[in-house]
Amino acid sequence: TKQGKQQDLEVMLLLILLFICVLSRTFSSIFYIEDIDSMRFYFSAIDYDVLNNRPHFPGYPIYCLILKCFYILTNSIELSFSIIGGLSIFLIIYFSTSCYQLLFHDSNHSRCLSILLFFNPLLWLMSNRYMPDIFGLAILLICLFFFLNYTNSNKKKSIFYLAFFTAVLAGVRISYLPFLIPIFISLIKDLR
């Protein structure tokens, strides 16, 4: 059917975007440690030990677990950070455009947003850095998407996903949790 072909095309385009995001970040990988925090995350892939600042407190357990999995697969810490950065950029593009479409019901301008996010110099630098900041931003956008999805459609399942990704965010970049406080205040008022 025509709708099935349209969905297949959208999935194919998303896979191409994912491939381009990961490939572009792996080609621009950095092979030096920029600062002390980056060094701590770098060595956490080899030997995770929060007591010895690999990485520093609170330990970022989910991020370090994902980093370790990619390190086992690639045998390269540098590429592992870049792959996570590429996945993060893909998630940022996908969920930013999804939030835009939920808010404005416009898919034409969301393509421009995708291009701006992909080539954004700050996001590009952060996606190659040995830190969980960009991945935390991606998870934060996922939380925002599920909140907007709940407010638009009143689907209770979105609250479950929001809670789940909030827990993931706590294990990736706990300092980003305060950004969700207004969302949870709004949800509490709405659910009363």
Instruction: Say if residues 116 and 110 touch (Cβ distance below 8 Å).
Output: no
pLDDT for res 1: 75
Long-range contacts of 28-31 (CB under 8 A, 24+ apart): 28/82, 28/124, 28/128, 29/78, 29/79, 29/81, 29/82, 29/128, 30/78, 30/128, 30/129, 31/78
pLDDT digits (tens, 9 = 90+) for 40-74: 999 999 999 999 999 999 999 999 999 999 999 99
Q: How far apart are CA 161 and CA 144, in angstroms?
A: 11
Give the number of other CB atoms < 10 A from CB of residue 157: 11
Q: How far apart are CA 89 and CA 81, in angstroms?
A: 12
Q: How confident is the model at residue 188 (pLDDT cuts 50, 70, 90)?
A: confident
Q: Assess whether pLDDT exceeds 90 at residue 111.
A: no
Q: Assess whether pLDDT exceeds 80 at residue 2.
A: no
pLDDT for res 191: 74
Q: Assess whether pLDDT exceeds 90 at residue 133.
A: yes
Q: How far apart are CA 161 and CA 167, in angstroms?
A: 10
Q: Assess whether pLDDT exceeds 90 at residue 192.
A: no
Residues 87-103, mean pLDDT to the nearest whole number? 95
Cα angle at 77 between 73 and 81, to 5 degrees? Answer: 95
Q: Assess whether pLDDT exceeds 90 at residue 31.
A: yes
Q: How confident is the model at residue 5 (pLDDT cuts 50, 70, 90)?
A: confident
Residues 131-150, mean pLDDT to the nearest whole number? 96
The more confident residue out of 59 and 105 is 59
What pTM does this model have?
0.94
Helix spans in the chain (H): 2-27, 36-44, 61-74, 77-104, 108-119, 121-128, 133-153, 156-172, 181-191
Q: Assess whether pLDDT exceeds 90 at residue 110.
A: no
Residues 143-152, mean pLDDT to the nearest whole number? 94
pLDDT for res 156: 86
- Taking the chain, what is the end-to-end CA distance rounded to the nearest angstrom? 44
